[in-house]
Structure 1
Amino acid sequence: LRMVTGDNINTAKAIARECGILTEDGLAIEGPDFREKTLEELLVLVPKIQVMARSSPLDKHTLVKHLRTTFNEVVAVTGDGTNDAPALHEADIGLAMGIAGTEVAKESADVIILDDNFSTIVTVARWGRSVYVNIQKFVQFQLTVNVVALLVNFSSACFTGNAPLTAVQLLWVNMIMDTLGALALATEPPNDDLMKREPVGRTGKFITNVMWRNIFGQSIYQFVVMWYLQTQGKTFFGLEGSDADIVLNTIIFNSFVFCQVFNEISSREMEKLNVLKGILNNYVFMCVLSSTVVFQFIMVQFLGEFANTTPLTSLQWLASVLLGLVGMPIAVVVKLIPVGSS
């Protein structure tokens, strides 16, 4: 955080200390001195500068440009005057004041703060981080669904000659997980912990090591469950007769869907173990989960001709739900595996 102002340096330093911007090892410099520095000197000074006083519009622009290009930082600039326009335009995110700001500053900015309240910037950052994290949660969840579906059908087709999940069933899974799943995870409200996280840099990965760990951990568990059901399911459930195959495929399909339902709950947090905190306060999430379960029940019990399924017994339904539920403690164990954050 840096203060760049046209005021006297003593005034600027006093305000900066009061706001917590200027620290003991920080550097306060005046614009005329800054302009006289060579490029080699700026490489040393720019990371240390916390206050720049008596600065010109060009000084602000130069500082922002060095931070963005030389040091590869993501830079946000706030300003209200015409002299702030070059820096607002150069920054990755320019924030202009809506009441006190000049028209030139507003035109150069990306975001206009309508109430001229600096705390609004914190709210903007909080919601921006929330949207970014929610998209990551959905991508993690969706990749798990696709990886498991691909592995199950591909391996089954190679070794047994038929796929347990039909095209209609896969389409159904994609419909409920793409639309309802996205709606559920996208409506997760921001929390205070978001502001404690390190900002995502310009070269930061969207799919992090944490996400890959969760994806692979959950995918392995679900694949093992699906493969066990396909190879030992008839013996486990005591299925015999001409309808044994369709009953087994229905159990596999039902178990697969419930694995995704409980994985959706686990995806609410990518690193924290307690994924149930605040879940009842998110009414959209609860409605989506309930709707998914209801639609799945209708699909299995009443739309067998369309979905290539057959009605299941209470015991078979219980087994499907429990197999999905076990995925939650598995997700907790997977989250205990240490990985890099990037």
Structure 2
Amino acid sequence: MMSRRTPVLAMVWVLAVAVLGVQAADFTIGSASGDVQAGKAKDTLAAVAVGAAFKGATVLQTGPDGQVAASIDEKNGFRLHPDTRLKADIGGKASRVTLEKGAVTSTLDAWPAGKAYEVATPAGKVVARGTTFTVAYVLGPDGQRVATVDVAQGEVEFVTPEGSVPSLAANAGMTLSRTVGQESTMLTVTAKDAPLTLVLGDRHRITVAAGSTVRVAVPLRYIDRFVAVAVDSGSATVGSQALSAGSQPVYVAGAAVIPNADASALMAAVQAESSAFAQSQLPGLTDEQRTALLEAQRLGAQAIVAAVTDAGVLERKPLLPFVPGDRLFATPLSPSGTP
């Protein structure tokens, strides 16, 4: 139910149009229905009206019945789906929409050359190249960060700290689940209606067939040397070697499969380490639960080292110490699932 303050607050946003008209607003509200709020921070949100204009970083939020379309100019804009919260920082050389939950569709029919536009989620970010695309994000029950991208027109790039999907073209899409540990990350990637290529650590390349799902175990300590991949459904290709569902997980180095090296143990170790740490960052845990999960994470980290050693894929030289302190990967999550 709307409070008695809501009409007054809505008038404030409408009056903002007159003020920002002189300063050239970064975006304006073109249409809105249901529960739609905006403000400079989550604790200062107020109802918005059609025509309201905004400048600078702005939080937009829709309720379960809410939708809102924002116009950057006559040919560019974005639309929030129901039950969505994001921060829009539009203008200058780089525009960034940070999606905290829900889904947003961006339509960039005439985006200025030389200016960047991206939609960022805790699972990764989508970099646009003049296009229409939808990004959805949800925090999974076990702490996995899940992003879905659907491209209607043009082309986008999807980027995570571990790697990227350099190109998703029109009528293509993907779902990526990213489970982040201290020592490793488990990626589960589904290619929708077109194949896609994953590039991990700037060198390891895996092509996923349309309609297929793969899991990629990324041991962060060794990411410059190899990753491991298993096909859950459909097929994938590494170099000239085809991989199919049910086949043995393999180590991938560059564009080739490392011969005679079973990656099953590494897949299991990365799953254990990353899942335990991701769950330990969820809100609402008791001290005992968090302690148990962190102990499981520690054992998983030891299992990663043992797995790659036993597989014989390491060069016989000392490893540099792994220091995760400067990484964004292990940033604790807020209750909403954002770092």
TM-score (norm 1): 0.28
Name the larger-Rg structure: 1
Higher helix share: 1
Q: Larger strand proportion, structure 1 or 2? A: 2
